[in-house]
Structure formats: structure tokens, C-alpha cells
Structure 1
């Protein structure tokens, strides 16, 4: 009985400490990506996209984005990553999240948004950076959009450099727009509160 109670308390404490890890009380948390091409820092907007930010930060603090690749790059459109390892194997996903597009944030240059399938509520772990004014990805009265949840505040030059790397159709995946030279997201880290 005592062992069971101790185990339960440990579980509660670990859940509470995990909740603190994603800075639930910070409205605009900052995340740094250390990539093979340089650093990118983004500020997330929990006031407009709380579900998306919490989901993204959960992957960050668990180290799930570490040693992943940017697998889709389309110049003047997007730089996408977060879902594949360097051997282009898919990484495990948590459950899908509710689409928070229509939150007032737009797919403009330098913003980060959730990638998804054609169905609106299918985002899990993959994200993309807008490297153009992609307002056509915003919602309209007839369709869901793609949920923006933050913006780049440092490292725009790194993002620009990524957006023009040569790409090809990857034979393993059969996907177009895969960088010829692998761009690795070495580490994603939640920055301390200031």
C-alpha cells in the first residue's frame, strides 16, 4: 500500500514538473533551433494558439525534434521539418491536435505553422517556416487554414539560406523537394524565461 502510494505521488510530481517544463505560465515562450546551417530563435504565441504551442513545446522538451531533418524545401514558399530522422524514417507521433487556424495570425514571411494532411485536424509534430507571404494558407469562409503559432525573431538569414538549397525527388520516399544535402535540426530547446 505504501509503495503504491509512493509510486502515485511520484507520478503526480513528475507530471507537475513536466507541466513546468513547457512553461505553461509563459504567454510568449522562446525556442532555439540549433541547425547544421546555424541558429534560429522563434517566439511562440500561446495567447492565439495555446493547443498548438503546448503540443510543439512537448515535442521540444522531450527532445523529439533533436536530430531530425528539414525534409521539404520549396523556395519562395516553405521550409518544413520535424518528422523525419536523418535516414528519412518517420518519427513517432503523439495524437493529432485541433486546428487553431483563424486565430488572427497569418502565414507571412518568418512565421512558423503546423503542417498537416488535407483534413483540418491532422497536425501532430511536423512544422514549417513560411519563407514568403503565404496568406493563401490562411483560413477562408470555405476552408480551414494552416495554424500559425509563432514567428522567427533571430536567424532569418539562416532561414533564407535554407530556403534556397538544391532539392531533388528522393528515391526512398518518392517525394519531391527533399534537400540534396541533409539539413539537420541538431537540437531544439526551450529558452529560459526572462
Structure 2
């Protein structure tokens, strides 16, 4: 598994098919106790309206309460309105996967107090296709920048060797928009260090970020 360093301090899956018969309900054996179905964790939907179209996010307010609440503060205070997606990372050798990054870019007029780090080893979330995660430098320094995963980037998850990054939601509508942003032109010279050549040109504006009807998060 490839892993990379986001260098945000600068800007900061096999089973066969199931037959219809096998999928039918089988009555429990006499004396067997019925097992209640698992209740999905509660989420809160947010819509990012971008120049390329809307992106709906289900925020994991139960599984990643601190990080999700942090994002909601930026939404409710309209601190993400007018910010941009400014970065698109792709593997140089064509390996599937990548991410787009956006947010406040450490603008002192927009950022709030940093949020404590919630590792994926604690939340049970992962950097899989459609996950949204908090950008940061050192653990506990994340504010208003975030990135959205394309493909499998589980190298960003926490393990015994690294704290990883904090996933706090998933995209439930608008992955086509995310992919369109990821495929946008990039400057060959903009950016510093590992980010050189990854900066979008032009940047993609986030017009508004707003809470959405609860039904959106269930899709």
C-alpha cells in the first residue's frame, strides 16, 4: 500500500454472487434468539455548492463527533462560502486513487480553533472512495481545510506507526462533481515541495456550504 505525506503544514474488498434462493429468509431454529438489525450511525447532511455542481456529504456526527462538529461550525458560520478547491493529487504512475483538497487555506479571517485529532483506529472510518477527511499538519492542528478521497487511499488511516488523518464523513451525491474537479487543469509550477504540480489552475470555487434535509444523508 502506497502512503504519501500530504504536507498539509504548508497549506496547512471477495465473494461470489448470491443466488435468489440463497438470499431468501430462513426461519430461525427453535429456541434461537432473534438478533436485532444494526442501527446505522446518525449522520448530518451538508451540501457544498461548487462551480462544477453540488456535492452532498453525510457527516459522521456519532462516529467522528469532534471532527464532524468542527466542519459544521464552518458551515453554520458560512466560513466555507467563497473558499475553493485548490489541489488535486493523482499518482504519477497512473495508479488509481487520489484526492481533491479545499477549504480555508489557513485564512486568519476564516479559521477557528484547531480540533483534537480523531484517528480512524478510534472512529472505525477509513479513507475509501468518497470519504472526506480533515487536512492538517501535526495531529490536533486541523481547522477548515479538508480533502475528498477518490479510490482506495487507506494508507492515510491510522495504525501502530502513524496517527493518520481524521475521516469525518462520506459523499452521498456528487462524486461525478468530485471527479470533474480532480480532472481539472493543474499548474505545472504552482505549489511547494510535494505539492508542486498539484495546484488547480483555475481553482474551483465553493459558492456555499449549507445543511441539507435529513433525507439526503440516507441515500
TM-score range, shorter chain: 0.7 to 0.9
Map of 2:56 onto structure 1: 41
TM-superposition CA deviations, 1:85-139 (whole Å, max 9, x none)? 9xxx66531111111112100000101000010x211111101000120000000
Partner Cα distance (1:105, 1:91) in 2: 31
TM-superposition CA deviations, 1:8-50 (whole Å, max 9, x none)? xxxxxxxxxxxxxxxxxx9310000100001110111111100
Map of 1:148 onto structure 2: 167
Which of the pair has more CA radius of gyration?
A: 2
Equivalent in 72, 75, 100 of residue 87 of structure 2: 72
Contact 1:83–1:91 (CA under 8 A) maintained in structure 2: no
Map of 2:151 onto structure 1: 132
Map of 1:104 onto structure 2: 124
Equivalent in 82, 86, 89 of residue 103 of structure 2: 82
**With structure 2 as the length reference, what TM-score do the two structures score?**
0.70
Partner-residue secondary structure (3-state), 2:202: coil
Corresponding pairs, count: 164
Partner Cα distance (2:183, 2:165) in 1: 23
Unaligned runs of 5+ in 1: 1-25
**With structure 1 as the length reference, what TM-score do the two structures score?**
0.78
1:1-194 matches, cutoff 5 A: 27-75=42-90, 76-84=97-105, 91-101=109-119, 102=121, 103-117=123-137, 119-169=138-188, 171=190, 174=192, 176=196, 177-194=198-215
Map of 1:22 onto structure 2: none
Partner Cα distance (1:91, 1:183) in 2: 20
